[in-house]
Amino acid sequence: MLIFSMIALILILNLDQFSQEEASTRLIVPEGEYILSVSINGLKIEKAGPQWRVSSSGIQANENISQTQLNNIIDAWQRAYISPVSTEFSTEVFGQPDIIAVLQLAGVSKQTVVAFNIVQEELFLVIDKQVYILNSPNVAQLLEPVVTVTQ
């Protein structure tokens, strides 16, 4: 009897973890994973020892980007929460993204490609042909000062 009452108590206290809404929101970068590099429209922010550096292949990098700003961008990516949208992926609607970000995670061979699409003044993210919206932080924190965001 005591065992069953303890199991029931544990289930009641953890009901919020079983809810559908909680399971749908997720991090772009899974918890416990670390970013090695982020490439935003061809401009790459990569780990160089304990700091971050900007490297570009033919693209003029903003030389005024400080180490603090680079740390803020990476921190924003690490804690970016997204939620799936009921909108179906369509190559006509989401075929030409406005901004493309490619994340390389430590220990993961496959890169994560995040396509930013603005459709009817709404911002959508497409990852692996699944459409999401950004919950937090805001898009400017993910992209600026690498890419200027106008809202």
All residues at 6 or more sequence positions from 39 whose CB lies less than 8 Å from its CB, including other chains: 45, 101, 102
Give per-residue pLDDT as tens, 33-59: 999 999 988 888 999 888 998 886 655
Maximum CA extent, the chain: 71
**Sequence letter at residue 49:** G
Give per-residue pLDDT as tens, 93-105: 888 888 999 999 9
Whole-structure pTM value: 0.76
Tell me, rounded to whole angstroms, the distance of Cα 147 from its chain centroid: 15
